[in-house]
Structure 1
Amino acid sequence: MTLPSEQLVDAWRQAEAAGHGRKQVVLKQVAERLGVSLATLYREFEEAGLKKARKQRSDAGQVVLPPKEAQAISAYMMNAYRANNKKLATMANTLDVLRANGEIRAEYIDEKTGECRPLSENACHRALRQYGLHPDQLRRPSASIRQRSLHPNDVWEIDASISTLFYVPEDVRTQGLADMAPEVFYKNKPGNFEKIKRQRLTRYVVTDHTSGAVFAWYVAGGESIANLGESLLEAMREKSGEALYGVPFHLYFDAGSAATKTFRRFLNALNVVPVVHAVGNARATGQVENAHNLVETQFEVGFKAIKVPSIDWINTRARQFCRWFNATKTHSRHGKTRLAKWMEITQKQLRTVDIDLARELLTREPKPCKVQSEIRVKFKGQTYDVSQVPGVRQGEKLNVTVNPLQPGRAWVVLFEDGNEVMHPIVPVELNDHGFEAEAPLIGREVKAAPDTELDINRKAIQRHLYETDTDEQALAAAKAKQLPFGGRIDPYKHLENVPDVAVLPRRGTELELESAPRLESRTLTHTEAAMQIKPALANNSIDWTSEHYQALTKAYPDGVPESEITRLIALWSKAAPGQLGMIGQC
């Protein structure tokens, strides 16, 4: 039943004019006159929009909760959030805990009764919001700043994402790629997670910040340095008719990808400046995050309608999709297709690289090469000049690796303040005779080798030894055989530092000579004996005669013991003529 609007408006005005306490009486009379119940009349008023606005409370907008108590409530609730953003503390629980511990009162005075009453949960929620302390407010992302890049390939962004829909079975050829059941993939089941870790299909997406061009590459397994490097190399590979290739000047990625020195050395060798955003700050690489969503919703959605045979098949289709997308879709920022904007790149800005050499940086450690006396090293069959490498020392080793940007050249890997630094080196040019083209000509040119670190240290030590200011003075002092350290050093002074210790006598054991082994005397020939006796007799003015020799051979037919020589000399020095043969044997 719908009453005429004129009657409803007239009845509403009568009730409003009746004043406080008389409205109910007037409305009952009107309802009887119109032949409807009072409830129907109220409903007709509401449907016609004839409602009196509620009077605002006099204390509306006022906050009773003190700021310090609001901070305590907010701090407790903020601390109760888990890492997965799950809220653990409710307002009711927070108020109970903090009131019980005497941290807050959270109460107000009832003006009618004068009683002290606790603030309701809703009142505390309103107070936190008015102070700007509510967890819903504080957990909003911080203010961000839009960043810019200079030209295509100035900045690339790269990120990995694990597909929750597809996995790689053990036999891809026979089974193809398939859906992953939620109960198998569910991340909160560690056993299942480890089971499928090696089967996961990982999608790496690379974007060019200036043009917005997109490149996608799929690999088997989870996120790793090997997969990251391989995906980046595929993006760098020259692709005819496509946007996005070459070597970027800066690479923007998350902190997890920069964990290894191998990947940082890889970027350093390619002259790529790594830009790592803070953990959890995915907005920093928002462009590549949006590209993930784009690839998933516009490319991967087709996987549900077709049998996917292999990862190679996916990568082929992904390249087709990126080529189509970059060439046809207009970017809202610059108003051109991504391919058209990327094609504005200049020759200087487009740096190409030998992909195979670049891959060596990821798969092989730098090779230790010994520095030769000519301050040269041999690497990959070539000789390189390392005289300009800081801190080079002949006889020691330098770590050398390839330079993919300039094939034929190489890098020396150095360490400065704990960080790896790449120093470029060039091969030595040889002439037709195999000599170094810049070597000095014999007899016509003189070139001194530059001082190495060891040469500099050697000269400094020489100056310190002779306490001189110049190398020439030190050389002159050494030539003049001056004493080192000005003659102040006594090399035996330390021998005077004998501790004052009393040496007590000790009883010894007498050596029993009878038990000592006897040494057998050597037997001389008659000639050897005569040569020893003759000069001794001459010293006593006695000539050696044939009679001496005959007496010797007769007395010692088998040779003369060496111990008898002294006795024979003494005997013959006193013997009278005719008594030489009376020598006997001991």
Structure 2
Amino acid sequence: MADQPSAELLQALLALRERMAATPYGSGTALVHRFAQMLGKNPNTIYTWLRTYAGYRSGRKKRADAGTTVLPEETLHFIAAAKREGVRGNGKATLPTAVAMNIAHGNGIDVTLSESRINALMRQRRLDARAQQQARSHQVLRSLYPNHVHQIDPSLCLIYYTPRGQAIMRDEEFYKNKPASLDKVRLQVWRYVRYDHASGALDVRYYEALGENQHCLFEFLLHTWGQQPHRLSHGVPRLLLWDKGSANTSFAIRRLLDALGVEHRTHAPGHAWAKGGVEQGNNLVETHFESRLRFEPVDTVAQLNAAAAAWVRDFNANAITHVDCRVVRQSGQPMVRDALWQSILRHPGALLQLPERAVCQWFLGGREHTRVVRDLQISFAHPELGATAHYDLSPWAASLGNGQKLRVTPLLMQQGALRIEIDRPGAEALLVQVAPMRDFDDYGRPAHAPVLGQDYARAPVSASQQAAHALAQAAWGDGATPEHAERQRARQAKPFAERNGGRGLVAHSHLGQASLPTRLLPTAQPLHTPALQQQQRAGQASQVLSVPQAVRRLRQALGEHAPADLYGQLKARFPAGHVPLQWVEQSIAASSLVALDQQADWAVK
């Protein structure tokens, strides 16, 4: 049936409604069935037409239990949740309701309704997959002025170039299940789109590369934020929204954005709607510009960018015949993008000029810059200043100490200022912006420094000095200063003397009292090396024993073989009372008195 019934059918429906109202209760059903049979329609369709176009109301009181069900809510939620978990990332539902009901039954959950009734209940309660896909409400956001917020998004273009010239990827040749087809494309063409959130002004640039990379993004930022002859909008924004792919592969770009003072944020994965402006911008570029290239191909990326620049110029100015390029917002009023961007004149300070290329390129070095604090100052060669400048950090002395390493980032368009990151224990790092020192006397020293012999001033107390005070008080008592601690050390005073009732610290007297386990060890074997044996012989030759010591040594070694008058024999042979140790050891080795007699002469000598 058409959206609006014909006049004849409408008159017939009105007449049917009047006849149904005039008949007794219950007789109207037969009238509807005869009317449906005459038209070859289902009676339910006739009832729908009557309600929609003839204002028919049955007058039947709504059931008291309407909208309720005997199926427990937990069962319905289980089935709906199972179906929701079966939805792919592309929105395709892979778990039919009947299968979810079977899984519920297999897990001891009774399902007493039919599949169609359960589907109806899920739709009524907005538990079905379609309702859940639309569950998130998107908050409309606004920006304050042109160049307040920019959105940037790179995407792979359908255009690529071969030795034969321009070609366009076709779905039947380059769909996802044929990755081998992409091997024919050595260098792909990437499209970078910039969208100004306030005015809707667009910019697009193409780059030929193997993939999304840092160099292309840097070149695009220089192009889109720099002033171009074909484009009205330009300048550095306050806030940049981009996806995680761009941010994760562009560490140096993030350093450049920090230096420019641009706050950059990424949206969560799967939330591309957060920067829907640039997503729509990609669609506009593809449908309003790239669609033209099929009819008028270009041979190189340079020619492609020249054509894109001409399209950007006319599109933002709404100067394309038969094409309404204006942006329409919730107000419903169509507005020209360039005219909206030109309102930046009413916002002083909103238009920020991009620094020259050499200065911006300095940040692509990719390394982190650190400086060491000396007397609460650091020095840094700022790329914009072209010379080394000094920066006074005394206002943050409480978080600093000499020798502390700081991470620094030069800021552009800030007269040589630095952004300095100061680590703090147990807290987030402190971010401060510091301008270079500029006031100096004729001799190159700071003009605010105290004059010798006239002014007296103490340097601010640093974090290291605060720690030194704390250590002095811990070791030498309350009220102690680092100077007092030095005097006490010079006097060899005992630190921590106030502990343990004035007895001082127990440092070693508590040692040796712990119970140790008994451990089994092997018997150590004597070590014999030529060097040790030579040293032992030399030592024995120079060592002597007294006569009593020699007697005890021999009796222990010889036992019952030792002569009874051993002491007299030794005393007679060594009247001076000095018995060579080597002689004793050799006598023991011989183990006989004969050996003693034979060696006596040698020993006397």
TM-score above 0.5, yes or no: yes
Task: Give deviations 1:395-439, integer Å, cap 9, x for gaps.
Answer: 343333322222533333445689776533333335554444444
Q: TM-score, normalised by structure 1?
A: 0.66
Indicate whether 1:320 and 2:330 are aligned: no
Indicate whether 1:76 and 2:82 are aligned: yes
Counterpart code for 2:414: Q
SS at match of 1:133: coil
Give the match for residue 459 of structure 1.
469
Counterparts of 2:119 and 2:471, CA distance in 1: 76
Counterpart code for 1:349: A
Indicate whether 1:90 and 2:64 are aligned: no
Say if 1:49 and 1:470 are closer, same or farther in 2 by CA, change over 3 A. closer
Give the match for residue 391 of structure 2.
385
Counterparts of 1:44 and 1:494, CA distance in 2: 111
Identity %: 26
Give the match for residue 486 of structure 1.
497
Counterparts of 1:320 and 1:516, CA distance in 2: 108
What's the offset of the Cα at 1:153? 1.6
Indicate whether 1:220 and 2:208 are aligned: yes
SS at match of 1:344: helix
What's the offset of the Cα at 1:204? 2.0
Indicate whether 1:271 and 2:261 are aligned: yes
Counterparts of 1:454 and 1:351, CA distance in 2: 41
What's the offset of the Cα at 1:276? 3.0
Indicate whether 1:242 and 2:231 are aligned: yes
Counterpart code for 2:497: G
| Kept in 2: contact 1:160–1:223 (CA 8 A) | yes
| Kept in 2: contact 1:204–1:216 (CA 8 A) | yes
| Kept in 2: contact 1:65–1:127 (CA 8 A) | no
Q: TM-score, normalised by structure 2?
A: 0.64
Alignment of 1:74-473 (within 5 A): 74-99=80-105, 102-107=108-113, 119=114, 121-163=115-157, 165-169=158-162, 175-182=164-171, 185-190=174-179, 195=183, 199-221=187-209, 222-239=211-228, 242-259=231-248, 262-328=252-318, 329-333=325-329, 335-345=334-344, 346-356=347-357, 357-373=359-375, 375-379=377-381, 381-388=387-394, 391-406=399-414, 408-415=416-423, 422-429=431-438, 430=440, 433-469=443-479, 471=481
What's the offset of the Cα at 1:127? 3.4
Say if 1:379 and 1:123 are closer, same or farther in 2 by CA, change over 3 A. same
What's the offset of the Cα at 1:293? 0.8
Counterparts of 1:492 and 1:127, CA distance in 2: 78
Counterparts of 2:154 and 2:486, CA distance in 1: 68
Task: Give deviations 1:111-165, integer Å, cap 9, x for gaps.
Answer: xxxxxxxx3x4444333323332222222252222111211122222222222x2
Counterpart code for 1:219: Y
Counterparts of 2:437 and 2:376, CA distance in 1: 12
What's the offset of the Cα at 1:443? 4.0
What's the offset of the Cα at 1:298? 0.8
Say if 1:366 and 1:414 are closer, same or farther in 2 by CA, change over 3 A. farther
Say if 1:179 and 1:367 are closer, same or farther in 2 by CA, change over 3 A. same
Counterparts of 1:355 and 1:463, CA distance in 2: 55
Give the match for residue 579 of structure 2.
none
Counterpart code for 1:424: Q
Task: Give deviations 1:290-349, integer Å, cap 9, x for gaps.
Answer: 111111111111221233233233233323322222222433236432222222222322
| Kept in 2: contact 1:63–1:127 (CA 8 A) | no
How many pairs align? 466
Say if 1:516 and 1:265 are closer, same or farther in 2 by CA, change over 3 A. farther
| Kept in 1: contact 2:150–2:196 (CA 8 A) | yes
What's the offset of the Cα at 1:79? 2.2
Counterparts of 1:50 and 1:83, CA distance in 2: 41
What's the offset of the Cα at 1:105? 3.1
Counterparts of 1:92 and 1:487, CA distance in 2: 81
What's the offset of the Cα at 1:441? 4.0
Give RMSD over aligned pairs.
Answer: 4.7
Q: Which moved more, 1:334-343 or 1:441-450?
A: 441-450
Say if 1:415 and 1:300 are closer, same or farther in 2 by CA, change over 3 A. farther
Say if 1:223 and 1:472 are closer, same or farther in 2 by CA, change over 3 A. closer
Say if 1:140 and 1:50 are closer, same or farther in 2 by CA, change over 3 A. closer
Counterparts of 1:151 and 1:244, CA distance in 2: 12
Counterparts of 2:111 and 2:401, CA distance in 1: 74
SS at match of 1:486: coil
SS at match of 1:343: helix
| Kept in 1: contact 2:392–2:437 (CA 8 A) | no
SS at match of 2:467: helix
